[in-house]
């Protein structure tokens, strides 16, 4: 006897194809819209860094090695500078090691036009508001008694706006 091959009748499986099509559409839609949703959330997350106003100047609290230090906000300073007392405390506490974190010396021009020698240090981690920044360049200026938050660190914030009336730095 000659046996006839069984033909697949695709009409009987229409409901399976519809279900697969709908499932594929839902998966693609979910992935597509979640991609844009996450971008929207990322762009809408605004962080704020509080500032303190003292004697007409704006200060920002920076946390290094579990302790806080006030830094004068100085948009005219190209580099963040710190006092020798600040660096010596971090070395005494064991947070900085001269062999590991000291990067050398450079000459810097300061606001009065004079030039001073600065010791460059790589600070492993700082926290400014909710931001955590790693391997930050701080310059220890001889004779300086104040810490300045300069543009070298501010630029690491990305897109930011300083709002002096509300004592906030807004990071977008």
Tokens representing 168 are 């906030």
CA distance 15 to 167: 63
Instruction: Please report the pLDDT score of residue 38 as a whole number.
Output: 34
Structure tokens at 59: 């200060």
Q: pTM of the entire structure?
A: 0.71
Rounded CA gap, 17 and 66, in Å? 61
Quick one: DSSP state of residue 21? H
How far apart are alpha carbons 164 and 70 in whole angstroms? 16
Q: How far apart are the C-alpha atoms of 105 and 1, rounded to whole Å?
A: 98
Pick the most confident of 19-23, 35-39, 162-166.
162-166
- pLDDT surpasses 90 at 99: yes
- Alpha carbons within 13 A on the beta-carbon side of 11: 2
Pairing mode of beta strands 131-141, 115-128:
antiparallel
Residues 13-24 have a mean pLDDT of 64
pLDDT digits (tens, 9 = 90+) for 145-162: 899 999 999 999 989 999
């Amino acid at each position: 006897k000659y046996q006839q091959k069984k033909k697949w009748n695709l009409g009987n499986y229409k409901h399976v194809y519809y279900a697969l099509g709908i499932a594929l559409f839902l998966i693609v839609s979910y992935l597509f819209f979640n991609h844009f949703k996450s971008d929207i959330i990322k762009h809408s997350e605004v962080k704020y860094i509080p500032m303190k106003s003292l004697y007409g100047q704006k200060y920002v609290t920076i946390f290094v090695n579990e302790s806080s230090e006030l830094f004068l906000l100085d948009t005219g300073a190209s580099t963040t500078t710190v006092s020798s007392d600040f660096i010596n405390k971090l070395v005494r506490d064991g947070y900085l090691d001269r062999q590991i974190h000291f990067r050398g010396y450079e000459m810097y021009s300061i606001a009065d036009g004079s030039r001073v020698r600065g010791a460059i240090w790589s600070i492993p981690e700082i926290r400014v508001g909710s931001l955590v920044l790693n391997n930050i360049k701080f310059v220890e200026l001889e004779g300086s008694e104040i810490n300045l938050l300069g543009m070298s660190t501010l630029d690491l914030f990305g897109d930011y706006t300083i709002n002096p009336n509300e004592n906030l730095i807004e990071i977008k």
